[in-house]
Amino acid sequence: MWDRARKSAREAREFASLHALVFHADGAPELPTSKSAHPFQQEQRRQCVSGEWRGRAVQRFSTSAITVELMTLPGILPRLQVIPSGLERGALAVGGWVVPTGDSAFDSRWTVMTDDAEFAAAFLSPRIREALLHPAAAGRALVVDGSALYLWAPGEQPWSDTRVRFEFLSVISGRIEADVWASFNAAPKRAESQASAVWLPGDEPAEPQVQWRVAPMPVDDEPETIGDTGEFEVALLNAELDGVTFLPGPDDTAKTYGSWLVAPDVRA
């Protein structure tokens, strides 16, 4: 047991060092604003790592029963839990009732629980559901609660896939529709200052057309430079999880961005 704990602490330190994060040998940082009293809030959080990932605060820690990765959100949203079929919901129970999405492929793999069915319908857009069907979501439950997204799984999970989980949270955060924030964000709105009310910016020069790529590829003139990729998906697709690399492949939607397997030719 002690050998396993020492190994996990060593891996946490190594992960933090590699990704410019902070390993908390003693204590743990404050948790984000929550609308629920999660059971882990009363437990000791071990092997806790925190810092910034793609512009958002993140944490990864373990308790006596679960492993949690979280990422803060730019606002405060209602509670919702998306649980893999067959997984007990107690670890981050947020209350509410089961809400089917009507997507048979999704509903066969996930159980959605919330006390706000309207929010669930808005949040679980086709792009969010598509992300949750990606292998990077395997084995984790997703919780939206207050100012954070959480991923959790039973037991002590390996540090080797933590990067993929943080990237996955980045994808989910980036795919939340603007209408969701407009309708459900409970964060106080900032008052517009007098200066911002009267100052008008000048016209900005038009950006050159950006060509998308199916995956990061070397720029022709600079073989060591990676070309523009547009979204977080490529980083996620190319991240390794249990030794498997998720690479894009051709499909029937090559001219649209209905799938994250193939990006469009030109960014809109």
Evaluate whether 96 touches 116 at the Cβ level (below 8 Å): yes
Q: Distance (Å, rounded) from C-alpha 48 to C-alpha 250? A: 39
Q: What is the pLDDT of residues 53-85, one digit of tens each?
A: 999 999 999 988 889 999 999 999 999 999 998
Same domain, 162 and 267: no
- The DSSP symbol for 137 reads G
236 Cβ contact list (under 8 Å, min separation 6): 134, 136, 164, 167, 168, 170, 171, 246
Q: Residue 37 to residues 92, 123, 172: CA-CA distances in angstroms?
A: 9, 22, 23
* Measured CA angle at 237 (ends 213, 68), to 5 deg: 145
Same domain, 137 and 81: yes
188 Cβ contact list (under 8 Å, min separation 6): none
Q: Distance (Å, rounded) from C-alpha 200 to C-alpha 103? A: 45
Q: Is residue 261 part of a domain?
A: yes
Is residue 91 very low, low, confident or very high in pLDDT (cuts 50, 70, 90)?
low
- Lowest average pLDDT, out of 51-55, 131-135, 188-192, goes to 188-192
Evaluate whether 4 touches 62 at the Cβ level (below 8 Å): no
**How many structural domains are present in the chain?**
2
Is residue 95 very low, low, confident or very high in pLDDT (cuts 50, 70, 90)?
low
Same domain, 71 and 136: yes
Same domain, 228 and 174: no
For 241, the domain range is: 210-268
Same domain, 215 and 177: no
CA 241 and chain centroid, separation: 15
Q: Which H or E run includes 77?
A: strand 66-84
| Length of the chain, in residues | 268
pTM exceeding the 0.75 threshold for the entire prediction: no
